[in-house]
Structure formats: C-alpha cells, structure tokens
Structure 1
Amino acid sequence: MGGLFGTGGPGGSGGTGVTGGNGGGGGNAALIGNGGAGGNGGFGAAQDGAGGNGGDAQLIGFGGNGGNGFTAATNPPGVGGQGGLLIGVPGADGLTFA
C-alpha cells in the first residue's frame, strides 16, 4: 500500500520445489518513504521456510526488508522486517536447519 509520497514494498517470490515457501508480503508506505520488500520463499523440496513480511515505513523513512526463507527439512520462516523512523530494520533470514 502506498503512502502520500511513497510506495508499498514488493512481495517476495514464492519458493521453488515441491513445497517451496511462500514469499512475504511487502510493507506499507507511510507519509514519505517506501515499505520494505517481502522476503523470498525457500527453494528446496521439503517444508521450506516462508519469506518474512516487509516492514511498514513510518512517518518518514523506509521499512526493513523481510528475511528470506531457507531450505531445510523443518525450516522456520524468515523474520519480518521492522518499520523505522528513518531507516527500517531488516528481518532475519530463516537459517535454522534440522
């Protein structure tokens, strides 16, 4: 969702493979600035982590990007980004392996 002088972040790509994780949603833009991009889904064959959601941009600034989901047997999703007053904090990638 776009703001007055900003744009919403793009959604992440879905993962490839049999059970690729879903891409995260893009963040919303605030008054001025852009929402963070959603993370990409995992790319292996079994229970890939989903991408985290992009952070919402606060009043002036940019939302952090969502983390990417990584491949593992039982992989958690990436962490969503956070909105920042000036610069958002990116989300962590899902890196825990089974």
Structure 2
Amino acid sequence: MGIDLFRHLDPVLLNDQAAKIVPLGLTRIWGEDDPWIPLERGKALHALIPQAVFETLPGVGHLPQLEAPQLVLERLNAFYQTKAKTDEGSAPWEG
C-alpha cells in the first residue's frame, strides 16, 4: 500500500484543530489513483472533518495540481464561489 502518512495523526487533536480551521473553509482535492496515499485514507481523513469539502478526481494520482491542473482549478473556483456566496462576499481576512 504506499506510504501511510496519516498513521501518526491524533484524531482528537485533528478534530480540535479542524474546529478552528473549517469555519474559514476547507476543501480537499484527492486523486482517486494516488499510489502513495490511497483514496480510502482520504475518505478516512474526511470523516474526521465531515463539514469540509472532499473532491475526488478520477484517473489522477498523488499530484492533482500537476496531473490535472485545469480540473483542480475548476474545483477550487467552484469552492471559492460557493464560499463567497455563503459568506456574502466577505473573506475572513477582510473583516
């Protein structure tokens, strides 16, 4: 199975940190064919922060931003547009 980078994460600590981060918005874009960190691990990580957005890209591996940059850009743009609408156009750093 590839390198298991998430085996050392403490789920309780991650949830505490996620509670602080997620109000700002969080999206993950995961290659479904990632040989290093399989999709199942991405799904498990998403289960720890279910209020975040979890996007998968079929046929893409560990580096979606290099393997499918247009798809990543489209997913990020959709996320930011949705976030801007729900926040009524104000970003956290805009006060």
Q: TM-score range by the shorter chain?
A: under 0.3
Larger Rg: 1 or 2?
A: 2
Q: Which has the higher strand share?
A: 2
Larger RCO: 1 or 2 (CA < 8 Å, sep 6+)? 2
What's the TM-score once normalised by structure 2's chain length?
0.27
Q: Which has the higher helix share?
A: 2
TM-score by length of 1: 0.26
